[in-house]
Amino acid sequence: MNHAWKRLRAEGVDVWIDVTATAENAAREIRRALAEGEVAGARLGTAHDDPAGGHVTADGIRRACDQLLPHHRASGGTKGLVSVPLPTAPTDATDAEADSDTDSGAWAARARALRDEIDRPNLVVRLPAEAADTATLRSLLALDVAVEVSGVCSPRRYGQVATALLSALSARTALEGSARAASFLSFDVTGVERHVDARLDLIGSDEAKALRGRAGLACARLAHRTHEMTFSSARWGALAAAGTPEPKLLWVTGGASPYRAAHYVQELVTRGTATAMRPAAAHALAEAGTVSGDRVWRHYADAERTLAYLNWFGISMETVAAGTHGSPRTLAAATASRADKPHPPVRPHRAAHQAHRRLTPA
């Protein structure tokens, strides 16, 4: 068994394999991952940062579900899951089946069509965060299918989506009994860091460059704090007592280089979460990773300082999350407006353990 994966399991982290490939490649990568150890789930489909990737067919999805079905049954439905993105544009078939003209009805129709076509109990339908309001999530939960909300890129947005999911679960429990299907909130660590680092490079000062490589982990750790606050409330306690499975935070690191992604994985180890790795990142983690205890809880304060430094440079996580990127002219103006002020004392980023350095490319 892959020693790094075994350590992740010992720390209470579920390992998912992130496969943005054709059906044949997906089946092969899942088979290889199963040989490394227990796989809690697989994410299929073309990633937003890899438009050249292939789409997995319905047969490929069913094959992946069948590969992980024994783990799904053995875990009581909490593992062995396969997440597939819902179509972002409606088809004629889903239009015909839509219950209403609302967005929630359209998303529910697409989810129902995918569920019926795949016909596997371990299917997870993946919904983009921008569509994840309470009404839409409630419509999906009514289908008794597992749901993943993907593409969350800021702590504040994570709180909004988590609250919407909590409200949807409450409504479902009040009207139809507690939901039994699993639910996930995935945080795009790589997406945050890529956009923020690009802005820091445009600013160009030594102080700005000292912040490179820190935004993704900072936002992810603060999203975890938000998750813990949301799902430790009295409102959630009532749902948990009714038997509702707690939504799980899923770290997504696709799009980064293998060693960088492996670095994210080892720096976001905390009990009760899941991490989705592409095969190359999993190999890098096995080769040079160090999984040694919780790396999230005690870093909340440092994460807040990092976001404060970024805010000083005019970089808002909410703007990054919305996908609106400042132009070089805008960034230059923001920097010039602060030229008469001292730069904030940016602390250098240092790995906590010497073994981590190999996974942090310069």
pLDDT digits (tens, 9 = 90+) for 80-119: 999 999 987 655 544 444 444 468 899 999 999 999 999 9
Look at residue 250 and give its three-state secondary structure.
strand
Amino acid at 324: T
Residue 96, CB half-sphere, CA atoms under 13 Å: how many?
4
Mean pLDDT of the chain: 83
Say which range, 10-24, 48-62, 288-302, 303-317, has the weakest mean pLDDT.
Answer: 48-62
What is the number of other CB atoms lying within 10 angstroms of the CB of residue 121?
17
pLDDT (tens digit per residue) in 276-296: 999 899 889 988 878 888 999
Write down the pTM of the prediction. 0.84
Report the alpha-carbon distance of residue 318 to residue 271 in Å, rounded: 27
Question: DSSP secondary structure string, 192-237?
Answer: HHHHHHHHHHHH--HHHHTTTT-HHHHHHHHHHHHHHHHTTSHHHH
The per-residue pLDDT for 47 is: 41
Q: How far apart are CA 154 and CA 134, in angstroms?
A: 19
> Do 129 and 86 meet the contact criterion of CB atoms below 8 Å apart?
no
Q: What are phi and psi of 339, to 5 degrees?
A: -65, -25
| Cα separations in angstroms, 212 against 194, 289, 306, 360 | 9, 21, 10, 12
Please name the amino acid found at residue 308.
Answer: A
